[in-house]
Amino acid sequence: MPLVTLRVDPETKARMDRLEAVNWSEILRERIFEVLERESRKNRMEALRLMERLSRKSPAGWD
């Protein structure tokens, strides 16, 4: 599995370290997946709107 590195400021890291039971890698993987899914849905909706716009009938007199 590829490795992704994340940098946080020292205060954030200290706060994260205090929460030993939290699996930060899993939280970040889930959040990345959520963002990718949201962006994919947004792109599909934009493509659908474009297809609908392009499939509308042309005004009378246009060939």
pLDDT, tens digit only, all 63 positions of the chain: 899 999 999 999 999 999 999 999 999 999 999 999 999 999 999 999 998 888 887 777 776
Q: Cα separation of 41 and 47, whole Å?
A: 10
Place of tokens 């994340």: 6
Give the pLDDT score at 63: 65
Give the pLDDT score at 44: 94
Nearest to 28 by CA among 2, 4, 1: 4
- Please give the structure tokens belonging to residue 4: 């992704």
**CA angle, 26 then 20 then 17, to 5°:** 95
Question: For residue 8, what are the contacts with CB-CB under 8 A and spacing of at least 6?
Answer: 16
